[in-house]
A and B are shown apart, each in its own frame.
Chain A
């Protein structure tokens, strides 16, 4: 019996190591390829870089339009996450503490909207942005992203606020302070960790979105990093190391945030499941 357990343990460790190797290999492949010259890559695509070079990374960081795209992505992410978080914070507070009829219905619709495929909204939104003269500008993407993030954000805040005792809010409001003051002075300080979690989840989504950015933005100088990457891929088909250096630019910020706040990630990204 004990022997069996031991063998089972070794087997599991071996299995997990294999799975982890598969999970990490493509990332390692991108890193080591970015450190090779194009010639070295063609000769040996999988080997360890014999003469590592920072040429591709400095090219991407200083000479090609990648920093510009990264800046655009950062602006889009900041703008859309900021707007959707504020909208959802207010709505979540009203739904939980407002005690008004009809909010339950709103909540149910909201849950359905969380999983509506964005591609089905794309054609009318494109036409609308053309008519508003916003197409090919960052605000067009910021507006659409903000709206798309609202349903999940509202859902997230509602779930969190339900854990706060209503008496606390009533007491604060009876004191004569307005709702906005209660929200700012009482609720927000308690919600710091939850808000941070939501911001991370939404920021990851905005940073990684491709389809909308691809359709709405056309000038090279206005692309987001994801849209730019795909253009890069098409332009430098035979310079894999250079393309993968740009890919690393897109991955590094996400991985850094992940390493810094892993528990926030896991809590936030599993929030759409169950309660």
Chain B
């Protein structure tokens, strides 16, 4: 009994961390190993046949895969847009213009809403006879009306616009928090020197929150590459004719709608490869921040 107690005194941290370690092993490590294995097999879970790299060559020759990958890359363009917009808004709010707290709260609101609910609402707004086109013709801009989700070259940009609408507030809040933490002296000195507002922001303020900007960009790049399924599913279902499919959607249709786990796994592995570059950058940024 005594010995057991002594051993617990030494080993309790492992006991405490145990459930979390098991959960991580179960949810992350096991599937990560399995998904690599599955990517070399074909067939359903019961009887699997080893096929080497056949799944990968199928995927590379599949035009839908190429479209999906390309759409993810296109959506990456939303990251600089939302970063610039969020930064601009945060800088304006940082001058503590009247009502800045309320403005920040309102711009942040979209970020916490369920993406499915947001997407469905926008699917009605962007319909051919939907809200946006009606608004446009109400104000005499009817000629700008488009089939936002139904035309192949507009569907993905429309999805991107909805993503920006929802993620913008996150950037504003993150940048505002960083700006609030800056010392006021440097800016005051520059103001006395008569530097313009924009020059002060660009030369003095923005460089000081560079680390946070890098963080935001990395995080959003990961999001746009690998966590936009909901938007695509409810806005276009990948259509018209697969033109707005993304990698996640490709994994979903192949793996679950059509049941070929091998192909879905191969794409998952490719996605992991791409994401891992960003994940490593993300980890680096963390370690650096801890040291700072």
Expressed in whole angstroms, the Cα–Cα distance for A86 and B22 within the complex equals 13
Contact, CB under 8 Å: A215 / B230: no
Chain B residues whose CB sits within 8 angstroms of the CB of A118 once the complex forms: 227
Expressed in whole angstroms, the Cα–Cα distance for A123 and B27 within the complex equals 12
Closest B residue, CB atoms, query A130: B45
Interface string of A21-48 (1 = CB under 8 A from B): 0111011011001000000001011100
Expressed in whole angstroms, the Cα–Cα distance for A29 and B26 within the complex equals 43
Chain A residues whose CB sits within 8 angstroms of the CB of B155 once the complex forms: none
Known contacts A45-B130, A117-B222; is-contact A29 B268 (Cβ 8 Å): no
Judge whether B192 is part of the interface by a CB distance below 8 angstroms.
Answer: no
Judge whether B243 is part of the interface by a CB distance below 8 angstroms.
Answer: no
Contact, CB under 8 Å: B289 / A90: no
Residue from B20, B93, B230 within 8 A of A211 (CB atoms): B230
Judge whether A50 is part of the interface by a CB distance below 8 angstroms.
Answer: no
Known contacts A229-B116, A230-B234, A273-B215; is-contact A20 B19 (Cβ 8 Å): no
Closest A residue, CB atoms, query B93: A16
Interface members, chain B 110-143 (any A CB < 8 Å): 110-118, 120-125, 129-131, 134-135, 138
Total number of residue pairs linking A and B with CB closer than 8 Å: 284
Contact, CB under 8 Å: B13 / A103: yes
Chain A residues whose CB sits within 8 angstroms of the CB of B226 once the complex forms: 117, 119-120
Chain B residues whose CB sits within 8 angstroms of the CB of A269 once the complex forms: 111-112, 170, 173
| 9-residue interface stretch from B57-65, B144-152, B251-259 | B251-259
| 9-residue interface stretch from B73-81, B200-208, B280-288 | B280-288
Residue from B19, B27, B130, B271 within 8 A of A125 (CB atoms): B27
Judge whether B52 is part of the interface by a CB distance below 8 angstroms.
Answer: no
Contact, CB under 8 Å: B131 / A95: no
Chain A residues whose CB sits within 8 angstroms of the CB of B265 once the complex forms: 123-124
Known contacts A90-B17, A230-B116; is-contact A121 B275 (Cβ 8 Å): no
Expressed in whole angstroms, the Cα–Cα distance for A208 and B24 within the complex equals 22
Chain A residues whose CB sits within 8 angstroms of the CB of B40 once the complex forms: none
Contact, CB under 8 Å: A270 / B120: no
CB distance from A121 to the nearest CB of B (A): 4
Chain B residues whose CB sits within 8 angstroms of the CB of A254 once the complex forms: 112-114
Expressed in whole angstroms, the Cα–Cα distance for A211 and B115 within the complex equals 11
Judge whether A199 is part of the interface by a CB distance below 8 angstroms.
Answer: no
Chain B residues whose CB sits within 8 angstroms of the CB of A247 once the complex forms: 117, 120-121
Residue from A30, A120, A210, A275 within 8 A of B230 (CB atoms): A210
Expressed in whole angstroms, the Cα–Cα distance for A208 and B118 within the complex equals 11
Expressed in whole angstroms, the Cα–Cα distance for A217 and B254 within the complex equals 18
Contact, CB under 8 Å: B129 / A45: yes
Judge whether B241 is part of the interface by a CB distance below 8 angstroms.
Answer: no
Chain B residues whose CB sits within 8 angstroms of the CB of A143 once the complex forms: 26
Judge whether A156 is part of the interface by a CB distance below 8 angstroms.
Answer: no
CB distance from B285 to the nearest CB of A (A): 9
Judge whether A147 is part of the interface by a CB distance below 8 angstroms.
Answer: yes
Known contacts A113-B28, A122-B251, A211-B229; is-contact A90 B234 (Cβ 8 Å): no
Interface string of B221-258 (1 = CB under 8 A from A): 01001110110011000000000000110011001100
Judge whether A164 is part of the interface by a CB distance below 8 angstroms.
Answer: no
Contact, CB under 8 Å: B211 / A274: yes
Judge whether A226 is part of the interface by a CB distance below 8 angstroms.
Answer: yes
Residue from A99, A214, A266 within 8 A of B108 (CB atoms): A266
Expressed in whole angstroms, the Cα–Cα distance for A23 and B279 within the complex equals 30
Interface string of A221-235 (1 = CB under 8 A from B): 000001001100100
Known contacts A116-B279, A233-B123; is-contact A12 B92 (Cβ 8 Å): yes
Q: Which of B19, B165, B174, B247 has the most CB of A within 10 A?
A: B19
Chain B residues whose CB sits within 8 angstroms of the CB of A131 once the complex forms: 45
Interface string of B72-105 (1 = CB under 8 A from A): 0000000000000000010011010111000101
* 14 further A-B pairs in the complex, CB-CB below 8 A; given A250-B114, A269-B173, A273-B212: A12-B97, A19-B103, A23-B165, A115-B275, A120-B35, A120-B272, A124-B38, A130-B45, A144-B27, A147-B26, A179-B12, A210-B233, A226-B114, A255-B109
The 4 closest A-B pairs by CB, nearest first: A147-B27, A98-B13, A117-B226, A91-B20
17 A/B residue pairs, CB under 8 Å, sorted by A: A12-B92, A24-B109, A42-B129, A45-B134, A106-B17, A117-B226, A119-B247, A120-B31, A123-B38, A124-B265, A210-B229, A211-B248, A226-B114, A226-B230, A255-B109, A266-B177, A270-B173
